[in-house]
A and B are shown apart, each in its own frame.
Chain A
């Protein structure tokens, strides 16, 4: 069988016209002209095939330069434009728009960088810099001659959002989206909203009641007619992509189907149950949540309390800090000392996480109230017996035994049940700890790499209420971009699978960081086959799939092999 690579097929230029290329070479003041002989480069460019017009500009990017491009397109009937100037990062969009204004498809434009990649790096050798500029122009001309006109892809966005998880993060996201007059479906697995806060007594740093905060949020929801709250609900299935997700939800036995434009993941976290650790029994050795319950209903009675921090956190099995448990311990220690002044409290910790402007003073206040802090290290863990904890205090350098009536374990937040299932359904990744993995740790913290899916709150990483609220609203702001526009635009630079050659190995499916590839049933030469298919809206044109495909079935629009080979052919 002979395999014809789709990507290497020579494409005819559009509308059967022969290319008429205009080449514009920028002096960039002396930035380029000081080291590259622009005159010589221009003369050389005129000698190249298909070049119909060459112009030198003092600054191609200036008003004058742009006007010169437009005039030349019209007067010389140019159907391709090449600019040799600076990095495409700065002015490529400007040049493309200029071509478009002159009636030329913006994808019939190409830029070669003879500044950063030539004059600036070869300042000592103007002769060879000029040679290199000529080569770059030659390669650019070879490429631009073969370019095809392309149209931007536009997709309608259904103006409705699905928020999964009804904790403070999810509620905040839903309220923000609905405030832009966009309907929201809020899906909560439990029978009540509020998430982790349902089990919390008082809140740091204000010491207000958690139930009041939850009530306040729920009241706002009730006043938002555009939000449909579904409790005891489960997302059964999700298909589609940004703008058009088909979702299937089961709410207390009733099934509904709907279409939404975007999805916000706010499924929060749960507390790790410290089974088998430090004598955990739920009675005298309890978790912080049980302590909160006893403080709330008044059944708390211990005269000596010891709290152990980082129980199952910052250890090789769980290599992270859960962020909220130090402040939770300090909050509860303060509450106890204030309400039950006769109760002695020791907090056995490794490092105290009272970061920022809100919490450090509480740490100081706890100490002022007589809460003892003992520092332990991973090398010597505290040992618990019936009535006491023996701690090797790193700062005292000795073992100390502290008696307790109640031992409280600060266990970390961990990913809730069902994350794996949901992450697969949404085709979004999890990190090693089961928290959702954002698109970029620094710059895109509340969205996934896959367009149209967002994340916030403890689903992303353990966080406090303030964090959960602003992340909820932050994810809403990102989601509102496509929702408010009602459309998404994608550059027509995407991968395309040749079904004749795809052999369904699915390496491309796994390789795509944006979940842009799915498999479909297709009739190929009369046979029903499963082949990969790229969704041009989701594809970012990164090329990862193309290089991995063992049969060479994947070509990149606008960067296919013909174009690249044409440039390489002219490189030397």
Chain B
């Protein structure tokens, strides 16, 4: 992130949204709306003084509601640029006209409650769409009790819990009573490989579940891990070995079978009902905490963005690309990078993004010969 924002040829517009796109390969005009942060970006030094005394307490999106944040806040500790944002729906000054504590605290005089949205127009030769993905809302799979049973969590919530800088300091505590979870189950293909939700494989979840299960064992050697799977999807570089390590060195229990439903017992522990397909028996397993491997789904707003850009979606709602040229959309000069075109892991997304950059460079090099484009950038 820092390398990107420091690069002399890259201008980062954060907290911004594309409003309008016109033109063609070699000469697009893009209108971007910069939402007001209520902070003067050129004065702010990122010291964070302002966030200290703000009386606001709002659920923290970054920690998926597992922690609270202030009304003036940094999205997360390493956010780039390091400039806070004021949440206009929560800030007392912006909602009720009184407070201004942050303004008093800011030695740089950077707080500006009068800031408004600004429209920025840019002429560019080519566009790369890299707006990523969302995770499947597991509450739609009502049989798993997500949102109803406290100790059933999404995979991203788990990432925040196990993170040393996360809301629980890296401890895997049960949301129901804050006590440590020792027996943790991971349910794969939640919203994936399922004709009633998404008829595709999310490609990443087998691997991250294996990672999650190993991390839990590393964190607490006395803990037990159970992974419910159908096929282990392990075709990436070194992945199968990784699975074998989870099985043999970390003692992770892999159970082949899909969980049909999750209920809650008297003490708030989730109970999984499943068929162990290798033993051909219906069984139950009670765990302290259950992690759902949510499907990777198109990011909210991908359809609107695609319409604005005049590019097609595939039948699942990801941006459609050519199978043998997977960075190319149906429009010349517009490319995709990463999960916006379908699930990809980090290494794949990085290589894919480099490929999109190569295609973008091809367009710009080719079109640069046309004299009409003078003020690119």
Contacts and interface: CB of A to CB of B under 8 A. Distances in A.
Contacts of A213: 324
21 contacts: A29-B45, A29-B107, A31-B47, A31-B49, A58-B108, A59-B47, A180-B361, A181-B365, A213-B324, A353-B231, A354-B201, A355-B235, A357-B316, A357-B318, A364-B195, A396-B280, A431-B238, A443-B347, A461-B237, A470-B326, A473-B354
Given A205-B323, A357-B343, A473-B327, A320 B358 contact: no
Contacts of A356: 200-201, 203, 342-343
B354 A466 contact: no
Interface in B226-263: 231-241, 244, 256
A470 B240 contact: no
Interface in A196-246: 203, 205-206, 213
Nearest to B346: A442
A504 interface: no
A180 B45 contact: no
B355 A477 contact: yes
B280 A397 contact: yes
Interface in A286-327: 314, 319-323, 326
A522 interface: no
A384 B325 CA distance: 40
B347 A477 contact: no
A474 interface: yes
Given A321-B239, A443-B350, A477-B358, A465 B324 contact: yes
B61 interface: no
Contact of B347 (A89, A441, A466): A441
Contacts of A352: 231
A300 B161 CA distance: 56
Contact of A351 (B233, B314, B343, B357): B233
Contacts of B195: 364
B366 interface: yes
A364 B230 CA distance: 14
B96 interface: no
B350 A357 contact: no
Interface in A466-518: 466-467, 469-478, 480, 484
Given A30-B49, A213-B324, 19 more contacts: A58-B107, A180-B361, A181-B365, A321-B235, A323-B236, A354-B201, A357-B314, A395-B278, A431-B238, A441-B347, A443-B346, A446-B351, A446-B354, A456-B351, A466-B323, A470-B327, A471-B351, A473-B359, A474-B358
Contacts of B350: 442-446, 474
Instruction: Give the one of A357, A456, A476 with max B CB within 10 A.
Output: A357
Nearest to B357: A477
A487 B16 CA distance: 35
A359 B201 contact: yes
A351 B189 CA distance: 14
Contacts of A62: 43, 45, 108
A275 interface: no
B334 to A, nearest CB: 16
Interface string A109-151: 0000000000000000000000000000000000000000000
Contacts of B323: 205-206, 358, 465-466
A192 interface: no
Interface string A389-419: 0000011110000000000000000000000
Nearest to A204: B323
Contacts of B361: 176, 179-180, 477, 480, 484
B316 to A, nearest CB: 6
A361 interface: yes
Contacts of A471: 351, 355
The 5 closest A-B pairs by CB, nearest first: A474-B354, A323-B235, A473-B355, A477-B358, A351-B231
A443 B3 CA distance: 13
Contacts of B163: none
Contacts of A446: 350-351, 354
A1 to B, nearest CB: 48
B191 to A, nearest CB: 13
Interface string A341-361: 000000000011111111111
A206 to B, nearest CB: 6
A461 B49 contact: no
A102 interface: no
Nearest to A206: B323
A189 interface: no
Nearest to B343: A356
A353 B357 CA distance: 29
B351 A179 contact: no
Contacts of B10: none
B372 interface: no
Interface string B308-340: 000000101010000111110000000000000
A170 B25 CA distance: 26
A162 to B, nearest CB: 17
Contacts of A360: 193, 199-201
Nearest to A475: B354
B82 interface: yes
A569 interface: no
A391 B155 CA distance: 36
Interface string A165-204: 0000000000010011100000000000000000000010
Contact of B200 (A314, A357, A394, A445): A357
Nearest to A177: B358
B278 A476 contact: no
A314 B240 contact: yes
Contacts of A319: 240-241, 244
B362 A59 contact: no
B324 A460 contact: no
